[in-house]
Amino acid sequence: MRGDVARLFDAMADSYERLEPWYEHFYARVHAIVRAELRPGPGALRPRALDAGCGTGFQAALLEELGWRVHGVDIAGGLLRRARARLRAPALALATVETLPYRDAAFDGAVCCGSALSFVDDPARALRELGRVLRPGGRLLLDVEHKWSLDLAWALVSAMTGDGLGYGVGARELLRQLRRAPGGCRIAYPGYGWLRLFTMPELRAMLHAAGLEVVRVWGVHSVTNVIPSTLLHRERLPRAVAPMYSALCALDGLLGGTTLGRGLGNSAVLLARSPA
């Protein structure tokens, strides 16, 4: 699957930064969390951060702005070329999150965003690698595709109605995956191939096995998924839908740290730390 993922994202390199409405809200929320939770400590002298699955450098550029010395890895060479052009001092490597080319305890902080963990072959191994390269007390900000969300319900509605909403998954396959509860599953999504969806209990267990403790969790795209995500993954929204979506985004931001926001979020964002 690794080669398929690299080809998928290499093909996206030229259009990767043209954000659809779904991603505009997603990155606004994630970047607000990065600014609030990953500022270097007082007196820190250019601490080192890793952007694992850095893409074109969205988070890496933000970390540079906050005062980190940033290293990045990605599986897609086309995305790395874009990142090199964006960053002030790029230190980038073509590598997988499951086999990071760094020594133990090399970084003071790390991010693994853009659902990177949902595309790797072995997410538990990837989290162990992230735990390995973090120093004691280091922080990791991670986002993943969350299994239990309103969008999963829309996918089921679509599957039961001849794919009327364009999720591209058949009812038999979707129900087979859902029967794997309470664990995660893999489902196909249009334009992205197979995505790993995680439940919070299994994700917490993987982080614990990696030597990381969860500090805080947020949900993103909880109430916004009153609108099916297949309608939000397009260049612009219909004029009648745009005002409602804007209001839902504001509400989603307010609910992100609540039980409702975490429970229904299409994306789960977790802050974890390596114990001192």
β-bridge partners, 195: 187
pLDDT tens-place string over residues 189-228: 888 888 999 999 999 999 999 999 999 999 999 999 999 9
* Cα 267 from Cα 200, distance rounded (Å): 11
Share of the chain above pLDDT 70, in %: 97
pLDDT tens-place string over residues 119-144: 999 999 999 999 999 999 999 999 99
Q: What is the set of domains in the chain, with CATH numbers?
A: 2-273 (3.40.50.150)
* Cα 80 from Cα 113, distance rounded (Å): 15
β-bridge partners, 52: 73
* 3-state class (DSSP) for residue 143: strand
CA 106 from centre of chain: 22
pLDDT score, position 44: 64
